[in-house]
Amino acid sequence: MSIRHFLRDDDLTADEQALVLRRALELKSAPFSRRPLEGPRVVAVLFDKPTLRTQVSFAGAIAHLGGHPLVVDGNLSQIGVRESIADTARVLGRQAAAIVWRTFGQDRIEEMAAHAGVPVVNALTDDFHPCQILADLLTVTEHKGALRGLTLGYVGDGANNMAHSYLLGCALAGMHVRIGTPASHQPDPAILARATELAAAHGGSVLVTDDPSAAVDGVDVVVTDTWVSMGMEGQKGERQGAASPFVPYAVTQELMAHAAPDAIFLHCLPAYRAFEVEAGVIDGPQSVVWDEAENRLHAQKALLSFLLEDHQGA
């Protein structure tokens, strides 16, 4: 049986994405019903970037599955500096059942997967954040009952990893996804083309607009993300200042009123109130961000179960 990796959202088929989400719901009800890491087997969890939710949720998921999370500080290990990524992958693959990595370039995690010999999971790169989107889709399923046919409107930086993963993940789920972003921060054309292809195949659609009101008009789900992604801290003043191109895309109560009356609000956190979102929205009755944060645990547990049980005969 071939090794499966999860490096970007469309590494799962639509049927596999649905299976993982169903399994996440099952595991949320019965947290210890699957034990593919019983032993305990070790999963290497590597962080080149800051983390809170990702570290806690993966550590919890691995423990629930019977395993032991071996958390590695990327700043100390200097992967790709002290030794090549390929050599690190070969070493970890001999000792761990899987590798979870939060890093910078997508090319780094692709090189890790090419040499590891065990499943590799993208816990965030500059291009994608696919585990977060699984948690978001799980949250939408819980609150809306289904995904196909729903419309999600994302406003903010259209060129970042969250926008890219919403495009692919929502298109795969048969949703209509709209990206409201300045003309200067458009999604990667190749990712947009892939999302358009997936949407056409699964009954959804893709729209990119520079009109924030049009992006959320009548939608079922409103989403935003920080305007200062990890690795862009040097641009904080420019991106959060009064002249920031993102100011019109802040999720205010006025913008939220353009969505459907029963729309829900998502944010992957950490959130910066008074910048990308008003306190009255994230702390208001339509916000489901705490369910979303908890669902990282259940979605990632289901993903690891899928990669280890369904594709390695573990």
Report helix, strand or coil for 167: helix
Report d(CA 192, CA 152) in Å as an integer.
15
Task: Name the active-site residue from 5, 34, 64, 268.
Answer: 268
How large is the C-alpha radius of gyration of the chain? 19
57 labeled binding residue: no
161 labeled binding residue: yes
Backbone φ and ψ of 269, nearest 5°: 70, 150
Report helix, strand or coil for 235: helix
253 labeled binding residue: no
129 labeled binding residue: yes
Residue 8 a catalytic site member: no
131 labeled binding residue: yes
Report helix, strand or coil for 23: helix
132 labeled binding residue: yes
What the block records as the tokens of 82 is 């002290």
170 labeled binding residue: no
Residue 4 a catalytic site member: no
Task: Name the active-site residue from 136, 210, 220, 225.
Answer: 225
What the block records as the tokens of 264 is 């829900």
Task: Name the active-site residue from 8, 41, 129, 164.
Answer: 129
Residue 268 a catalytic site member: yes
Report d(CA 201, CA 177) in Å as an integer.
14
Q: Are 93 and 117 in contact (CB under 8 A)?
A: yes
Residue 225 a catalytic site member: yes
102 labeled binding residue: yes
CB burial of residue 55 (10 Å; 0-12, 13-18, 19+): middle
Task: Name the active-site residue from 17, 34, 132, 185.
Answer: 132
269 labeled binding residue: yes
Task: Name the active-site residue from 41, 53, 102, 164.
Answer: 102
- Indicate which residues carry an active-site annotation: 102, 129, 132, 225, 268, 296
Report the binding-site residues for carbamoyl phosphate: 78, 102, 129-132, 268-269, 296
Binding residues: 78, 102, 129-132, 161, 225, 229-230, 268-269, 296
Binding-site positions for L-ornithine? 161, 225, 229-230
